[in-house]
């Protein structure tokens, strides 16, 4: 079997309508997987699903979910159970809430919003997605974190704390799920050229200032996340679990 042969595999990508999630959806579809992209924004999902479906023989569908709400997440997996005959092979969480604020200015409401959109959302996906992953025959759970889980910068206390918590969640799931043949890993991206960084990329001075921290000297292109995704999602990565892959242009090493 070729390393990146995903024919017959069923995948769910939270946040798959935009940015890095969309790049991962494209990568999996182009290697034979059937993919469902999900988020809160139905307009974006329908447009991206139609676009990807035309290029990949209609193997891309969509579903609405709010990962902050456990009932919404549970409903999503009920929908997928009917759509995919009760099974799932690949579950990728690329959703996230990125708040920028000083610690003394973070309100309890802001803190809770970041917690629910990041760490709690990842837990809900693991909690309600496990039954489908167990029935898939082989399973891959991938959380998309951030270099800020290990490297702190100003104004990112809530975001960094949540992403660090997600790394520990991955380790715990790796230990608990190993007997089921399900791996749990994470990808920690550095700065990428997506909608979230559009403002910085448009400001040459701000862009260059951030690039000074990146040994590669630039932001990543969304397609550059694809290989890490394909590797961790593949059947051949079955002995890799509890790991984190930095895709950051050398940020963590610098």
* Residues labelled as active-site residues: 159
* DSSP SS3 for 67: coil
User: Cα dihedral sign for 110, 17, 75, 175?
Assistant: negative
Residue linked to tokens 């996906």: 125
* DSSP SS3 for 203: coil
**DSSP structural state of residue 236:** G
- Sequence-separated contacts (24+) of 40-46 with Cβ below 8 Å: 40/64, 40/65, 40/66, 41/17, 44/17, 44/18, 45/16, 45/17
């Amino acid at each position: 079997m070729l390393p990146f042969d995903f024919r017959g595999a069923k995948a769910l990508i939270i946040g798959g309508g935009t940015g890095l999630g969309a790049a991962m959806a494209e990568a999996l579809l182009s290697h034979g997987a059937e993919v469902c992209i999900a988020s809160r924004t139905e307009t974006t999902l329908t447009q991206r699903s139609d676009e990807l479906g035309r290029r990949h023989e209609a193997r891309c569908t969509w579903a609405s979910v709010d990962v902050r709400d456990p009932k919404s997440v549970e409903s999503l997996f009920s929908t997928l159970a009917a759509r995919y005959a009760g099974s799932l092979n690949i579950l990728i969480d690329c959703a996230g809430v990125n708040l920028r604020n000083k610690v003394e200015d973070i309100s309890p409401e802001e803190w809770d919003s970041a917690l629910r959109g990041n760490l709690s959302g990842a837990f809900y996906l693991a909690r309600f997605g496990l039954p489908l992953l167990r029935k898939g025959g082989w399973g891959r759970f991938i959380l998309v974190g951030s270099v800020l889980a290990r490297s702190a910068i100003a104004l990112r206390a809530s975001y960094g704390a949540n992403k660090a918590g997600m790394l520990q969640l991955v380790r715990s799931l790796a230990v608990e799920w190993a007997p089921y043949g399900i791996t749990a890993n994470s990808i920690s991206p550095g700065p990428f050229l997506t909608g979230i960084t559009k403002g910085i990329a448009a400001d040459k001075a701000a862009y260059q200032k951030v690039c000074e921290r990146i040994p590669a000297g630039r932001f990543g292109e969304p397609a550059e996340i694809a290989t890490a995704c394909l590797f961790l999602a593949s059947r051949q990565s079955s002995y890799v679990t509890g790991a984190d892959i930095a895709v950051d242009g050398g940020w963590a090493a610098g």
